[in-house]
Structure 1
Amino acid sequence: MAGRWIEHWDPEDETFWQQKGRPVARRNLWFSVLSEHIGFSVWSLWSVMVLFMGPEYGIDPAGKFFLISTATLVGAIVRVPYTFAVARFGGRNWTVFSALSLLVPTAVAFAVMEPGTSYGTFVAVAALAGIGGGNFASSMTNINAFFPLREKGWALGLNAGGGNIGVPVVQLIGLLVIGTAGATHPRIVLGVYVPLIVVAALCAARYMDNLAPVRNDTGAAKQAVREAHTWIMAVLYVGTFGSFIGFSFAFGLVLQTQFGRTPLQAASLTFIGPLLGSLIRPLGGRLADRHGGARITLWNFAAMAAATGVVVYASGAESLPVFLVGFISLFVLSGLGNGSTFKMIPGIFHAKAVSRGLRGEEAAAEGRRLSGAAMGLIGAVGAIGGLAINLAFRQSFQTSGAGTAAFWSFLAFYAVCSALTWAVYLRRPVTAPAKAPLGFAEV
């Protein structure tokens, strides 16, 4: 695929940005959102499919949690090669390919989704759906290169938020099918996505571009791996995105298992949290643009710990209304934190470039190349956080029949993330030399 290549790209140059860069960047952003949105829906398919799996499937709640955990794990792993694929093949070219590849897990699930299929087959098909999680990493790496530093929080938040909405959308489609056709027709959900996948691929081929300056930069990946801030931010992203995707996949099962909701009752509530968390993600990026990502992230983790305390209380008291208030608050806060943490990444690497003596476009270009590589690694580790959440739920329900123990572990982790954010980025912010425009306190 030859593709369309843009040879010169300098978004930090205000004249270039206003005259040429902005419309091109925004066009690529909108169609990146579309492809990533479909990717998230495919990745989330099994959070919906398990709602259709009644007693006739012979799978207990622990087995269902393992299915969604499998999709989460594969989605985390493929984010690493998907990140580097943008530099190797071009953002447009890879978006077309990665969109079309979603036909595989969707079609295979359509073929096997019925009682009598072996559990091992379901696990394998759930693993295939994990490739949808990789679209996020390539999309974020690609869009990061299009926008200037001052607008990255908004652009990355919008890109990721539009993609994240794929989770509640597929859950809403599942609700519609269960409410109309009944819980015995999961293939209708899968059939909806085949034409949507084709449309996303065609739109990417027609309207997106490749950026030549970000091609074949293997050194950036090696540098990002050696940079301590990559792994610190990965831990923080486990707390935000790991929570969002882990809770999104598990919410319906928790409602069914702990509160005895029927598939229709669970589906009617499941989409609310992911929808609100997705919609608020751009606001998290915008707040970080204005007030500093580290500050927003710190307060956000403190609020997530408080919301988890509400959920722990409600879980012990078996109060569904209080549980829903606390759990949906966690979705909203995880979405807000997703935006603020991802805004921090380009700011950190730009500040590091300036601290090494680089200035102007040279510093901006260095920040873009390193942050683009780091985003894939951070996104992969963050998605593994979703796996940890699903496994924690599985263990908690296996041992006690409730999710209370899992929520206590989440509360402790949010406290660790708060302390880490404060200690590294706010307590003694490492600032660049006097001429530097940005210190870590403002990331």
Structure 2
Amino acid sequence: MALAALAWLAWVAIGDAGLAAWGLGGFVVFMAVVWLVVRSLLALLVRLPARGVGFRYGLGLLGRRPWLASLQAGALAVGTMALLTVAVVRGDLLDAWQRQLPVDAPNRFAINIQPEQRAPFAASLRTLGLGTPEIAPMARARLLAIDGRPIRADQYPDERARNLAEREFNLSWRPGVPASNRITAGEYWTAATAGKPAFSVETGLANTLGIRLGSRLAFDVAGRRVEAPVTSLREVRWDSFQVNFFVLASPGLLDDTPASYVSSFYLPAAAVKPFERASTAFSNVTVVDVSAILAEVRALIDRLAQVIEFLFLFTLAAGGITLLAATVATQAERTRDAVLLRTLGATRRQLVAVLMAEFVWLGVLAGTLAAAGASTLAMVLGRQALDVDIGVNPWLFVHGVAMAGGAALLAGAWAVSRVLNRPPARKLREIAVDS
């Protein structure tokens, strides 16, 4: 019932059944991994040489209740991992992505360059010492059919596919493979085959819309129907900030099509003012500042992260409540141990150290697992979403242990105070009654 309720809440919160299922599945898998790891670690740790009464006692308590210890550590680890993951994504992941970009990666896009402005615009950039920019033709088009089948948005279950089916595309034509593109299937046109009508399609678009090598695409380009087969599929590095397109046409296929031009280039800070003065000669050209967009994206992620962190605090609180409930359930056992230790001559300070050892171990285990989980998730996100390799941040483990350990120690302080603040005689009577 609890799992069903969690699934329903995930579906309501996310609004996507598939994504909710993946998230819930990941949660279940993580909990299973936590349980196995905690059981394995406890089995290993209890075999270590004795290093004090507290050390042995804390491990002994966890070893006596491996199922409960795994549940406690898992509940704390999930909440802590969620908070750590948000911190990594908003900080380390974006920083790593920006660091892997070339220093001179284009940070400006210029669009709506007219054919007669192409040469003067390039010359103005060379005059400013910005080199010869890449300027590519661009024509608006709407996809009409794939292999003779008319395109309708409602034929695709995926939302992204529906959006692509409804939108207009920017087509371009290039004699050679662009620098930030890699052919993954088929053959790009050469000088010998450039006269033959053909399209080259980006792999992500092809997978989303069901386009295959050899598929025949039909576009409406300025009221003219243009058809050609797909002769190659390309993988595009969009984060290169070069001028790239989903669909490229072979030279000659769109020669009679009205087109504008688009360019990308690197504009250093020292050249901003001179460029602004020079660009007044091209009042119709729109220049997009990529760095400003990235700053807005980071600000948006920060705002979203603040909301998500607030929600994940409840997850951590739920873990704390689980820990507290488990602590209450084992309070009688803890009381009996305290009475026995007090009878054997243990001081109050020694009792505190011994009884808190269990919670110290729980915090260390949960925090370490949370940091490991957050690091793994960040590495997967970096590779799959941004194509960057992000290393393990040692401070993540420090923060993870501090967060989980703090929650565990609060529960421990409450439990220990209930044990120590009652006279031994009263404890013995309560134990006798419970027995």
Structure whose alpha-carbon radius of gyration is higher: 2
Choose between structure 1 and 2: higher helix proportion.
1
Choose between structure 1 and 2: higher strand proportion.
2
Q: TM-score range by the shorter chain?
A: under 0.3
TM-score by length of 1: 0.25
